């Protein structure tokens, strides 16, 4: 009797495992079916591509061309459109807004090479092509690494730096990407279950913000829009391997480098941020004691969508101090 029960349990476990494997394969195949669009098929018509040494970068501009340039770097899995309300507010304030897509996200080309140095060089090329005056560089979350790298490596491009809930990794020990993620098929499977899975977008967004009700359909749609581009899952899987390690060659990963920043700095941080907790902001403020620090009460990791009015007011005030 006991052996029959054990055989039955083993049989059920095998069936459950097969169902799980089939579901995982189905998600990966579904991603391939979804990802058929060209880069221009769903990009906002008001944007354009700027040619760099590593492919074309998609940008959206607003405001007076003669205004002080403000360059907006987005966070993980986001793109320039998530800055929409902030771009409008800055443009109304007289600034020339340049919101860009950091590959592999958004509608920029995805040539590989996703280190902070690679991204900084791309954006420097963009600003050169635009013949832009020294700009105020605004970096959010993962984009803050590339933004800071730009300011450190190409100081003539920047007149000031603004860091918003910055994921700079300065409090973590240096590490290599985990060996388990080396197989491309495994990374693609993980990405197809999460980042490029439309069923997961809202849940992932809610996990990043304090005001869960701000995971609005309009933001979910914005995040999903570029993910129908061809090869989104394999391209983001390439980025994932880089992202899970420490960018050891980046100047922005060196705590000592922050003392060499000559430009004025402002720091804006959501009080309720659970992704880059407030302790990281305090640590950053120690490295940059002269920075203008603004705490955003009640907001989490993506304050520009959690309370656009509060965030935009704080950002405009911070820009005024710079």
pLDDT tens for residues 245-281?
A: 878 889 999 999 999 999 999 999 999 999 999 999 9
Q: What angle do CA 52, 184, 43 make, to 5 degrees?
A: 40
Mean pLDDT confidence for 270-295: 96
Q: What is the pLDDT of residue 20?
A: 42
Q: What is the pLDDT of residue 151?
A: 98
E strand or H helix that includes residue 96? strand 96-100
Q: Which residues of 168-199 are buried (b: 16+ CB within 10 A; e: fewer)?
A: bbbeeeeeeeeeebeeeeebbbbbbbbbbbee
- On the question of a cis peptide bond just before residue 103, with omega within 30 degrees of 0, the verdict is no
Q: What is the pLDDT of residue 181?
A: 86
Q: Are residues 165 and 276 in contact, defined by beta-carbon separation less than 8 angstroms?
A: yes
Q: Which three-class secondary structure state does DSSP give residue 160?
A: strand
Tokens describing residue 75: 């966070």
Length of the chain: 322
Tokens describing residue 193: 């279950």
pLDDT tens for residues 80-139?
A: 999 999 999 999 999 999 999 999 999 999 998 999 999 999 999 999 999 999 999 999
**Mean pLDDT, all residues of the chain:** 90
288 or 30, which is more confident?
A: 288
Q: What is the pLDDT of residue 247?
A: 84
Mean pLDDT confidence for 226-254: 91
State whether the Cα torsion 236-230-201-189 is positive or negative: negative
DSSP 40-75: TTSS-TT-EEEEEBTEEEEEEEES-TTSPEEEEE--
Mean pLDDT confidence for 64-85: 96
Instruction: Tabulate helix, strand, coil % of the chain (nearest 5).
Output: 50, 15, 35
Q: What is the pLDDT of residue 1?
A: 56
Q: Are residues 108 and 130 in contact, defined by beta-carbon separation less than 8 angstroms?
A: no
pLDDT tens for residues 191-210?
A: 999 999 999 999 999 999 99
Q: Which residues of 251-270 are buried (b: 16+ CB within 10 A; e: fewer)?
A: bbbeeeebeebebbbbbbbb
Q: What is the spatial distance between Cα 273 and Cα 181, in angstroms, rounded to a whole number?
A: 27
What domains lie within the chain, and their CATH numbers? Answer: 48-321 (3.40.50.1820)
Q: What is the pLDDT of residue 31?
A: 61
User: Within 10 Å of residue 23's Cβ, how many Cβ atoms?
Assistant: 10
Longest Cα separation, the chain = 84
Percent of the chain with pLDDT over 90: 80
Q: What is the pLDDT of residue 248?
A: 83
Q: What is the pLDDT of residue 5?
A: 52
Residue 14 has pLDDT above 70, yes or no: no
Q: What is the pLDDT of residue 2?
A: 57
E strand or H helix that includes residue 21? helix 2-34
Q: What is the spatial distance between Cα 127 and Cα 69, in angstroms, rounded to a whole number?
A: 10
Q: Are residues 273 and 296 in contact, defined by beta-carbon separation less than 8 angstroms?
A: no
Give Cβ neighbours of residue 245 (< 8 Å, ≥ 6 apart): 175, 176, 177, 178
């Amino acid at each position: 009797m006991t052996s029959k029960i054990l055989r039955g349990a083993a049989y059920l476990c095998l069936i459950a495992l097969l169902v799980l494997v089939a579901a995982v394969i189905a998600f990966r195949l579904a991603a391939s079916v979804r990802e058929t669009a060209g880069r221009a098929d769903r990009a906002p018509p008001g944007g354009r591509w700027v040619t760099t040494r590593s492919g074309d970068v998609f940008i959206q501009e607003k405001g007076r061309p003669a205004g002080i340039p403000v360059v907006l770097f987005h966070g993980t899995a986001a793109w320039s459109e998530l800055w929409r309300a902030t771009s409008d507010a800055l443009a109304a304030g007289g600034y020339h807004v340049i919101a860009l897509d950091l590959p592999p996200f958004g509608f920029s080309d995805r040539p590989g090479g996703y280190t902070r140095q690679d991204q900084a060089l791309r954006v420097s090329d963009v600003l050169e092509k635009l013949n832009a005056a020294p700009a105020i560089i605004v970096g959010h979350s993962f984009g803050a690494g590339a933004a800071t790298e730009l300011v450190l490596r190409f100081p003539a491009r920047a007149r000031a730096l603004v860091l918003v809930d910055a994921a700079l990794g300065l409090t973590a020990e240096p590490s290599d990407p985990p060996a388990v993620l080396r197989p491309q098929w495994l990374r693609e499977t993980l990405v197809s279950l999460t980042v490029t899975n439309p069923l997961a977008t809202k849940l992932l967004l809610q996990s990043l913000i304090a005001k869960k009700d701000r995971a609005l359909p309009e933001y979910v749609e914005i995040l999903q829009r570029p993910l129908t581009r061809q090869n989104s899952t394999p391209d983001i899987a390439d980025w994932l391997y880089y992202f899970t390690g420490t960018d050891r060659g980046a100047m922005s990963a060196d705590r000592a480098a922050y003392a060499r920043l000559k430009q004025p700095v402002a720091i804006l941080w959501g009080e309720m941020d659970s992704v880059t907790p407030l302790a990281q902001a305090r640590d950053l403020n120690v490295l940059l004691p002269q920075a203008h620090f603004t705490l955003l009460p009640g907001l989490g990791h993506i304050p520009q969508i959690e309370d656009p009015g509060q965030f935009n007011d704080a950002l405009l005030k911070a820009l005024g101090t710079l």
